Amino acid sequence: MWRTRILYWGCSPKLLRGDNCKINPTELTAVMNSIPMNSVHESAPSALSLTQSTDTGTVYNIDEIQELTNIAKKYNVPTHMDGARFANALISLNCSPADITWKSGIDSLTFGATKNGAMMAESVIFFNEDQANDFLWRQKRSGHLISKLRFISSQLDSYIKNDLWLNLAKHSNEMANKLTAGIKKYKNIAFLCPCQTTQLFLLMEENLVKYLEDNNALFHRLPFEGKTLIRLVTNFQTKEQEIKDFLGLIEKYHTDQ
């Protein structure tokens, strides 16, 4: 179980318990009910932000998004989707962009391209135009009105054209699926959560992790309850041979034991 922490001024931090790094509706409702909305001594919540896909590579389905946005709207809280890996979520869910954004109650979307082939190119899409009124001033104040920004933004033309963004995401998801299928055969490797896009979080015995590192496999180690947890990520340029090579190392380790 992964937890999402939200902080607000004047009170203790609140932990939202939820499986696979997704906000639990019951927990969200409880926290919203605990915030004194009309007190000048407390900061009211300014937005509900959903990360799609999540930081563990899982995805919110349409029903889950609608349930959470309905809770937010009950409290007049705007809804935002952090779409750094938005394309990968679309491929996983096999739906349209509208299905998991404005049709499901999302007011604004951070449409990320950097993790799917672009360089620094991101955009913000408002489905609720009223919320965009002061966006240019906020962009300037936060330092994001970069000189020659049009050269960065021009990447998005090619990114969207002929569904390139979806084709890139499809490839990275497929590579993750191949990696997942190959790893599942080993009973001494456990998945912390299901791989639904491009990220795999694996609990491994330390000897295997050390063997992979000694053979030049690159990955992130993450602290997790005193166990050895590693994070693997595929991307738009991952080659199938790289997947085979990594799985080959795992197989050789088990063969040599």
**Residue 6 scores a pLDDT above 70:** no
Mark whether 50 and 66 lie in a shared domain: yes
Number of domains making up the chain: 2
CB count in 10 Å sphere of residue 65: 22
Mark whether 25 and 140 lie in a shared domain: yes
Between the two ends of the chain, the Cα-to-Cα distance in Å is: 32
**Which range is most confident: 78-87, 129-138, 144-153?**
78-87
CATH of the domain at 90: 3.40.640.10
Paired with 232 in beta bridges are 200
pLDDT tens digits for range 157-202: 999 999 999 999 999 999 999 999 999 999 999 999 999 999 999 9
Host domain of residue 104: 2-163
3-state SS, one letter per residue, for the chain: CEEEEECCCCCCCEEEEEHHHCCCHHHHHHHHHHCCCCCCCCCCCCCEEEECCCCCCCCCCHHHHHHHHHHHHHCCCCEEEEECCHHHHHHHHCCCCHHHCHHHCCCEEEEECHHHCCCCCEEEEECCHHHHCCHHHHHHHCCCCCCCHHHHHCHHHHHHHHHHHHHHHHHHHHHHHHHHHHHCCCCCCEECCCCCCCEEEEECCHHHHHHHHHCCCCCEEEEECCEEEEEEECCCCCCHHHHHHHHHHHHHHHHHC
Mark whether 62 and 157 lie in a shared domain: yes
**Residue 150 scores a pLDDT above 80:** yes
Peptide bond into 53 cis (omega under 30): yes
Residue 13's pLDDT is what? 52
Last-in-domain residue among 139, 163, 187: 163
Whole-angstrom distance, CA of residue 224 vs CA of residue 233: 18
Kindly compute the dihedral angle of the four CA atoms of residues 7, 85, 1, 211, in this order, to the nearest 10 degrees.
-120
pLDDT, mean of residues 83-87 = 95
What's the predicted TM-score (pTM) here?
0.88
CATH of the domain at 192: 3.90.1150.10
Mark whether 25 and 62 lie in a shared domain: yes
Mark whether 159 and 222 lie in a shared domain: no
Residue 1's pLDDT is what? 44
Whole-angstrom distance, CA of residue 6 vs CA of residue 140: 26
Residue 109's pLDDT is what? 96
CB distance 30 to 72 below 8 Å:
no
Mark whether 136 and 176 lie in a shared domain: no
Mark whether 17 and 108 lie in a shared domain: yes
Mark whether 60 and 175 lie in a shared domain: no
Q: Name which residue leads in pLDDT, 211 or 33.
A: 211
Last-in-domain residue among 128, 163, 198: 163
Mark whether 90 and 159 lie in a shared domain: yes
Last-in-domain residue among 163, 195, 215: 163
**Residue 142 scores a pLDDT above 50:** yes
Mark whether 32 and 69 lie in a shared domain: yes
The residues, ordered by sequence, that sit 6+ positions from 14 with a Cβ below 8 Å of its Cβ are 5, 6, 7, 8, 31, 34
pLDDT band at 203 (very low <50, low <70, confident <90, very high): very high
Crossing angle of helices 164-183 and 86-93, in 10° steps, is 70
Which tokens belong to 141?
């104040």
Whole-angstrom distance, CA of residue 257 vs CA of residue 94: 41
Among candidate residues 20, 30, 64, 16, the one with its CA nearest the CA of residue 193: 20
Mark whether 155 and 196 lie in a shared domain: no
Mark whether 200 and 87 lie in a shared domain: no
